[in-house]
Amino acid sequence: MTSLKKHPDYLKETRRLKSTIQYMDIYIQDIYKKQQSSTHEIKEAMINLDYLDSSQSYITILVNAKYLDYSRESLEKVLRAKAKPYFSRIDFRDHREKQPAKYYIGKLSLFKDDHEPLIIDWRAPIAGVYYDGRLGEVSYEAEEGTVTGELLLKRHHTI
């Protein structure tokens, strides 16, 4: 049995994992900063609350409170996933595309600022290709209908 570290993709996969964790750290810090800002805006809205006409203050409070609820949930998911961000990778070439895409599958979806997927939730339609598909021609059901393509690589990661 050969050492995992001797695999030709080991260094690339290690760099990808480090990069993902660094991105998650930045994402976590951004959430913390936005939470502080939302908390501050709620406090300001409470100070400026006009009980006769306070619609703007109420809107500010409601929007920021909603964000705080959402961000706490997102933050918990990312913090839990950080130690093991993903557990598999597939390389899939959609028949509508020339180049294959690499998808890392984990317990949550996380996208970069340019909407490129960093991690795909295991329940996402394309993740079904990992569970059901064999290398070669495969398909999955998505919102836009049946997507067909070629599964080029199916890899399990133990982190």
Pairing of the two strands 110-111 and 117-121? antiparallel
Phi-psi region of 154 (alpha: psi -120 to 50; beta: other; left: phi over 0): beta
pLDDT digits over 8-65, tens only? 899 999 999 999 999 999 999 999 999 999 999 999 998 888 777 668 888 999 999 9
- Who's near 56: CB < 8 A, 6+ residues apart? 45
pLDDT, one tens digit per residue, over 110-146 is 999 889 999 999 999 999 999 987 999 999 999 999 9
Measured at the CA of 127, the angle between CA 122 and CA 133, to 5 degrees, comes to: 135
